């Protein structure tokens, strides 16, 4: 998992409340057993005017010119600005996968669905929660100033605006530790790889018949 320390990026404002996970990555794309390749279908039903299906060449499709991510001024955006209750709906982990694989490193919103919020941290994506008034102000600025960028400093837990003003945000200490170090659940376990190997070797020495059981 990519670690998250300091990130500066272009902001894309998605002015919609209650964006659910089926809108983030529609159900027909969940058939893949791979953990990659979902970014091209992020917000598929909103990004394109034609119906999408797995394996389709997106270069042949008709983009929706009115959708925020298709507007040239937001090309390459890596910070998604959203409204309340972002990520509601089903608990598919594909939703943060798609957001991350599209190129976003962080989301800023007033509130999130709990499971989506947790899944973001497990996949290296930083969901920041601010007040509605703070989010409103960021929307106003992002819409008013083309090329609007923010800097997110996770170590200091602040968002730095272009003029230098800082907005503090909260993040649980353990989640912050995992993001700063790029640890997903497997990475956390592998910190103890030497102890795990030593335990397995000792157990095998004490119970050598396990080798035959495991190799059967």
Domains of the chain with bracketed CATH = 6-183 (3.20.19.10), 184-216 (no CATH)
Confidence of residue 187 (pLDDT cuts 50, 70, 90): low
Rounded to the nearest angstrom, the gap between the alpha carbon of residue 146 and the centroid of all alpha carbons in its chain is 24
For residue 2, the model assigns a pLDDT of 87
Place of tokens 């020495």: 205
Confidence of residue 178 (pLDDT cuts 50, 70, 90): very high
Burial of 21-38, coded b for 16+ CB within 10 Å and e otherwise, reads bebbbbeebbeeeeeeeb
C-alpha dist (Å) from residue 167 to 47, 157, 163? 31, 8, 12
For 142-168, the pLDDT digits (tens) are: 999 999 999 999 999 999 999 999 999
Q: Which residues pair with 126 in a beta bridge?
A: 106
Would the pLDDT of 211 be above 60?
Answer: yes
Residues 6+ apart with CB under 8 A from 94: 21, 25, 29, 30, 38
Q: Count other C-beta atoms under 10 Å from residue 204's C-beta.
A: 13
Mean pLDDT of 85-109: 96
Place of tokens 């394109």: 48
For residue 194, the model assigns a pLDDT of 72
Select the highest-mean-pLDDT range: 24-33, 46-55, 165-174, 192-201: 165-174
Tell me what percent of the chain is helix, strand and coil, each rounded to the nearest 5.
Answer: 45, 15, 40
């Amino acid at each position: 998992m990519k670690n998250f320390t300091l990130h500066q990026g272009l902001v894309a404002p998605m002015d919609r409340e209650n964006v659910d996970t089926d809108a983030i990555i529609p159900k027909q794309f969940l058939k893949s057993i791979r953990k990659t390749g979902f970014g091209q279908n992020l917000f598929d039903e909103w990004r394109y005017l034609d119906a999408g299906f797995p394996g389709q060449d997106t270069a042949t499709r008709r983009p929706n010119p009115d959708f925020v991510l298709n507007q040239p001024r937001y090309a390459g955006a890596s910070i998604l600005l959203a409204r309340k209750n972002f990520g509601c709906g089903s608990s598919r982990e594909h939703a943060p996968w798609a957001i991350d694989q599209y190129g976003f490193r962080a989301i800023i919103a007033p509130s999130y669905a709990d499971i989506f919020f947790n899944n973001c941290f497990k996949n290296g994506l930083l969901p920041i929660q601010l007040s509605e008034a703070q989010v409103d102000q960021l929307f106003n600025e992002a819409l008013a100033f083309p090329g609007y960028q923010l800097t997110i400093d996770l170590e200091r837990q602040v968002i730095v605006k272009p003029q230098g003003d800082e907005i503090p945000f909260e993040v649980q200490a353990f989640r912050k530790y995992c993001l700063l170090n790029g640890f997903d659940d497997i990475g956390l376990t592998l910190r103890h790889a030497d102890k795990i190997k030593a335990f397995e070797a000792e157990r095998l020495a004490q119970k050598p018949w396990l080798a035959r059981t495991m190799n059967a």
